[in-house]
Amino acid sequence: MIRLLLLGLLLVAPVASGAQQNNVPRIEPSDCIYKADDLHKTRCGFLIVPENRHHPKDRTIKLPFIYVESNNPEKSPDPVLYTGGGPGVSSLHPVTSIARRSLLRNRDYIAFEQRGTHFAQPNLECEGEGNAIQNAYLEHRSVDDAVLSSVRQCREKLIREGIDLSAYNTDESAADIEDLRRLLHIDSLNLMGISYSGGLMMAVLQKYPEHIRSLILDSPLPEFVNIDEQELANFNEALTSVLSSNDSTLLDRFNSYFSGLGGKVFTVNYQLKDGKTVTLDYGRSELLSILHDKVEDYDGIKELPQIINDMVDGRQEPYVKAHFDGVFSGSGSISGMRLSVYCSDKMAFEDPAIIKQQEAVMPWLAGFHVNDVYGAVCDAWRVKPINETTKKPYYSNVPVLLGAGGLDDACRPLYNDLIHHYFPNSQRVLFTKRVHGPLLNSLEGDLYIGEFLDKPRERLQGEKDIETY
């Protein structure tokens, strides 16, 4: 009760002025960007923190959060704090469906927007990359060159605005979460993250362990994993799982055909929105992009065998035109936060030789950028690496719920096995027929989350196509 009273005072008090305004970190009340529903009390505010804690007297940034109260008068005093993945995805919209989640039955929920993402002030978004890519296709120029040019322009724009690009990283975001916990006077906190933010939550526990009750990590990407050294292999494993279970010859057909594409260029006649018909070039990368989009779609993944058979047999045009519908559908944008995090957290520590070895072992995927942030992009973005200790694995007895999809092409179940090695009180839930993010995106996963939060040290029970171990 005392903690909730303090929260109420923090979120309804008038904004401080004068010398108090210079005190950071602090909380300022604000209108809610989203609310849960009319039945659950929702309070909102901004966390005000230094942009760069190494220069605390320089500029500050504003990070919105949404606090949703459980209606249970006997609720537990340890809320769940969630922040989105990506990196670069906003954390706030899931509030609109949180009332249907099992976790709100017995505890409060906090959605926290990471620095640099959409509703943060500032956000690090730059428009126009999509237009640059469209023009490159229309003018038969290198798409990669167009991307790099857009990245450089975005960097120059943000620097002109006075933004310190090296301050948008996991170290600073972990400190943001700890500041929010402390200012809200929360003694015990459950952290929930997905994909990149799963690794972020592990970093919070590593740096500020005293008040963390449990972690819920859905398809997590640990900080100690250099994903670009594994991304082609991850994609290949997911493809292999789908294709080998369908037809024993299909995987061989795929590998042989795509290995032979090399530098081949195909053309397609494509009608633009203004009615004009143009000739567009495409090759292995565009075809793999089509397959990659399907692998990341729970329903689309079922279409893969037919699509690959059609591609190998020369019936590519319908899929390629649908791909270009996406390319020419909007102006596109760059998430500077995503670039800063990936380049400082991952690429700064990766070995280009290991990344290249994947192409030698899997020539059918050579030259394909699974991730839109890769070596040349980070060379153009130029940010400082994070603290080396953040990249190292560590041991903890804190209970952890680990979710993974057996068909996930990004954060493979292997990552949960590695985390489990360091967290002996962790439990792994493998959704064998699901893709990325099965805990937060399925009814079964939601039930597991609720059960785990209530009794985090008790063993969960699996169901059909779901393994717990």
Distance CA 312, CA 304 (A): 12
Q: Which of 63-72, 140-149, 157-166, 246-255 has the least mean pLDDT?
A: 246-255
Half-sphere exposure of 254 (CA within 13 A, CB side): 23
Average pLDDT of 325-348? 95
- The pLDDT, as a whole number, for residue 245 is 81
Name the residue among 111, 93, 169 with its Cα closest to residue 341. 169
Query: What are the tens digits of pLDDT across the range 24-68?
Result: 999 999 999 999 998 899 999 999 999 999 999 999 999 999 999
Distance CA 429, CA 461 (A): 9
In sequence order, the 6+-apart residues with CB closer than 8 A to the CB of 350 are 226, 228, 229, 375
Instruction: Decide if 196 contacts 221 (C-beta within 8 A).
Output: yes
Flag whether pLDDT at 152 surpasses 90: yes
- As to burial, measured by CB atoms within 10 angstroms (0-12 exposed, 13-18 middle, 19+ buried), residue 426 is buried
- The pLDDT, as a whole number, for residue 363 is 98
Percent of the chain with pLDDT over 70: 95
Flag whether pLDDT at 250 surpasses 70: yes
DSSP 313: T
Q: Looking at this protein, which amino acid is placed at residue 322?
A: A
- The pLDDT, as a whole number, for residue 20 is 46
Copy the structure tokens of residue 89: 């995805």
- The pLDDT, as a whole number, for residue 462 is 78
Average pLDDT of 212-220? 98
In sequence order, the 6+-apart residues with CB closer than 8 A to the CB of 171 are 203, 207, 386, 387, 390
Copy the structure tokens of residue 251: 């995987």
Flag whether pLDDT at 5 surpasses 70: no
User: Residue 433: how many CB atoms within 10 A of its CB?
Assistant: 14
State how far the alpha carbon of 381 is from the alpha carbons of 52, 154, 225, 386, 425, in Å.
18, 9, 21, 15, 39
Q: Which of 206-220, 236-250, 381-395 has the least mean pLDDT?
A: 236-250
Name the residue among 363, 437, 423 with its Cα closest to residue 85. 437
Query: What are the tens digits of pLDDT across the range 278-294?
Result: 999 999 999 999 999 99
- The pLDDT, as a whole number, for residue 6 is 40
Determine the distance from the C-alpha atom of residue 220 to the mean position of all C-alpha atoms in its chain, rounded to a whole number: 9
- The pLDDT, as a whole number, for residue 163 is 98
Torsion of CA 152, 155, 159, 164, to 10 degrees: -140
Cis preceding-peptide flag for 318 (omega within 30 of 0): no
Copy the structure tokens of residue 157: 């724009």
- The pLDDT, as a whole number, for residue 19 is 41
Q: Which residue matches tokens 């090695």?
A: 421
Q: Looking at this protein, which amino acid is placed at residue 423?
A: F
Complete DSSP assignment for 61-99 = EEEEEEEE--S-TT--S--EEEE--TTT--SSGGGGGGG
Q: What is the chain's mean pLDDT, rounded?
A: 93
Cis preceding-peptide flag for 25 (omega within 30 of 0): yes
Higher pLDDT, 319 or 12: 319
Distance CA 301, CA 122 (A): 37
- The pLDDT, as a whole number, for residue 198 is 98
Domains of the chain, each with CATH number or no CATH: 2-124+166-225+390-468 (3.40.50.1820), 126-161+227-381 (no CATH)
In 85-161, which ranges are continuous DSSP H helix? 129-138, 143-160
Give the burial string for 297-317 (b: 16+ CB within 10 Å, else e).
ebeebeebbebbeebeeeebe
Name the residue among 379, 358, 345 with its Cα closest to residue 195. 345
Flag whether pLDDT at 11 surpasses 60: no
Query: What are the tens digits of pLDDT across the range 424-460?
Result: 999 999 999 999 999 999 999 999 999 999 999 999 9
Confidence of residue 17 (pLDDT cuts 50, 70, 90): very low
- The pLDDT, as a whole number, for residue 10 is 45
- The pLDDT, as a whole number, for residue 2 is 35
Instruction: Decide if 27 contacts 46 (C-beta within 8 A).
Output: yes
- The pLDDT, as a whole number, for residue 7 is 45
Distance CA 331, CA 90 (A): 19
In 139-264, which ranges are continuous DSSP H helix? 143-160, 170-183, 196-207, 231-244, 250-259
Q: What angle do CA 412, 375, 335 make, to 5 degrees?
A: 75
Flag whether pLDDT at 12 surpasses 70: no
Distance CA 396, CA 387 (A): 20
- The pLDDT, as a whole number, for residue 461 is 86
In sequence order, the 6+-apart residues with CB closer than 8 A to the CB of 322 are 290
Confidence of residue 175 (pLDDT cuts 50, 70, 90): very high
The size of the chain, in residues, is 469
Complete DSSP assignment for 428-453 = EEEETT--S-TTTTSHHHHHHHHHHH
pTM of the model as a whole: 0.94
Q: Which of 15-19, 83-87, 132-136 has the least mean pLDDT?
A: 15-19
